[in-house]
Amino acid sequence: MGAYLNKICQTPNLDELARRSVQFDQAFTSVSSCSPSRAALLTGSPAHATGMYGLHHSVHHFNAFDATDSLPARLKRLGIFTGIIGKKHVGPRAAFQFDFEQTEENNHINQVGRNITHMKLLARQFLRQANTLDKPFFLYIAFHDPHRCRNEPQFGSFCERFGTGEPGTGRIPDWVPWYYRPEEIELPYNIQDTEAARRDVAAQYTTISRLDQGVGLMLRELEAAGHANDTLILYTSDNGIPFLAGRTNLYEPGIRIPLLMYQPGVRPGISRAMTSLLDIAPTVLHWFHGTNPSLPLQPDIETNEIEPLPYSKSLLHVEHKESAPSEDEAIFASHTHHEVTMYYPMRAIRTRRYKLIHNINFGAPFPIDQDLYASPTFQDILNRTKEGRPLYWYKTLRQYYYRPQWELYDLHSDPLEMHNLHGSPKLQTIETELRERLWRWQRDTRDPWLCAPAGVVVDGHGHCGALDNDLQLD
C-alpha cells in the first residue's frame, strides 16, 4: 500500500486510515499460513500451542484444541456482541463461535470475501443489531482479497476479474477496478523479473485495490452507525504474499505484515515497536477491559488451568509513550504445516538485527503449496529451470528447496537473507544467545517440537531424550 511506500498500487482508503493511525513498521505474523495465523490472531498463542498446525479446510482438516479459549469466546462472556464477515478458516466451531457469522461456512467465499458491496450490507446489518442491542461490539472483517483463486480460473489468478461486469463475471456495484500495466510494477526482490511474474503481480494489485475500496466502505458504515469516534480499528494481514519466499516461509516476505491501529483521540504516527499478530488479542481485550493487558487466554491442556500468555502484549501503550527501541527486542515465529502434505516445521527468533531459523525437517525439500504451484509465477520459474533458461531471480530452485538445519542472518547487512552466517566464529556468542532464547520460548509455550529433530520430549518440563542421530551439535 502507499502508506508502506508502494508507489504503484492504489490504496487511498488504507493510506487515509494510516494517516489517522499508529502505523507499525516492524510488524510480523507469528506463522506464515492462513489457518494457523488466524488461530494465533484470535487466541494470542502461537500455532503450536493452539494445535492449529495447518489449514482447516478440506482434506487438511486441522483444528485447534477443543479447550481453546478464543477472543470471541472471551468477549461474549464480557457481554460484547461479536461478529465475523468473510474468511473464517479456523475450527473447531465451538472454540471460535461468533454471535453473527457470515463466512465461507454459510456463503460462497467470493461473496463474503471479495464482493465488497455485499460485505458492506452485512456490516450494516451487524452494526444495526449492535445498536439495537445497545451493546459494545467486536467485528472481525476478513477479506479474501488478495488471496489466489486457483479453483476459479475464469476469474483470473487472483480473482481479479470477479465482479468487473465482464461477461460471466458478475458486477460488484461499489467497485471501480484499477488495472495495472505489468511493465510499471516495482517487483520485490523475491519475485523474478519476467513478463509472467509481472502480470501475476499486476493481477494481485487489482484485488488489493478492491480490498482497499472495501475498507473505505466499512469505515463509512461505521461512521453512519455513529461509532466512528468510539471504536478501535485494527488493520493487518494473516501472512505474507503468495509468492516464492513469501507465504509458508519465515523469510521476511513471508512474515512481514502491515499493521495499522486507530484509536480515537490518540495522536497518529509511525511506531518502531516490534510486534506480532500474537499481540492482537491482548490489545483488543485491553481495549475492552481497560485494566490488565496480560490476560490469560489459553487453558493448559493437561491441567485445564488458565495460565497467562507468555510473549504477547497489548499494543495500546505505544500510542501514549513508546520506549526507545531495544536491540534485544524480538518476535518469535512457529510454522509446522500448511497443507497436510507440507510437513516442514520451522521455528525462528527475529531481533531488530538478526534472524535465526531452525528448519526441523531440513532433510526434505521445502514444499510448494497447490495455489503457488499453479500460479503463473511459479510455473515460469519451473519451466525456465527445466529448460535451462535464465530465471532473473535471486536464487535457484535447488537453493530454495534445500535448506540447512540452521539459518542465521544479519538483516542490517543482508536484508535479502542470502548469506547464512550459522557457525560463524565472529557471531558465536550471538548465535548461542539466540538459540537459547528460541529454546526457552519453545519450552515456555509448550512446543511439541521442542526437542526435534535430535531428541524426544520426555516430560512436561522441557527435558529431552537424545535420539543419538548425530543432529544435536549440527
Q: Which residues are catalytic?
A: 34
Contact 364, 60 (CB under 8 A): no
Longest CA span, the chain: 66
**In this structure, how many other beta carbons lie within 10 angstroms of the beta carbon of residue 327?**
9
Task: Round to whole Å and give the CA distance between 89 and 62.
Answer: 10
Name which of 65, 73, 62, 71 is nearest 49 in CA terms.
65
**CA pair distance 95, 40, nearest whole angstrom:** 13
For residue 463 the three cell numbers come to: 527435558
In this structure, the chain runs to a length of 474
Nearest-5° angle of CA 94, CA 101, CA 256? 85
Q: What per-residue string of b and e applies to 200-223 under the rule 16 or more CB within 10 Å gives b? A: bbbbbbbbbbbbbbbbbbbbebbe
For 235-271, letters b (16+ CB in 10 Å) and e give bbbbbbbbbbbbbbbbbbbbbbbbbbbbbeebebeeb
Nearest alpha-carbon partner for 49 in 309, 284, 238, 282: 309
The full DSSP string for 199-257 is: HHHHHHHHHHHHHHHHHHHHHHHHHHTT-TTS--EEEE-SS--SSTTSTT--SHHHHB-
Find where cell 453473527 sits: 100
Q: Which three cell numbers stand for residue 234?
A: 485494527
Report the Cα–Cα distance between both ends of the chain, in Å, rounded: 41
Q: Is 194 exposed, middle or buried (0-12, 13-18, 19+ CB in 10 A)?
A: buried
**For residue 462, is it left (φ>0), alpha (ψ between -120 and 50) or beta?**
left
Burial (CB count within 10 angstroms: exposed 0-12, middle 13-18, buried 19+), residue 153? exposed
Spacing of C-alpha 325 from chain mean position? 23
Sheet holding 81-86, edge to edge: 100-103, 81-86, 137-142
Determine the distance from the C-alpha atom of residue 91 to the mean position of all C-alpha atoms in its chain, rounded to a whole number. 17
Tell me the H-state helices in 80-189: 109-113, 116-133
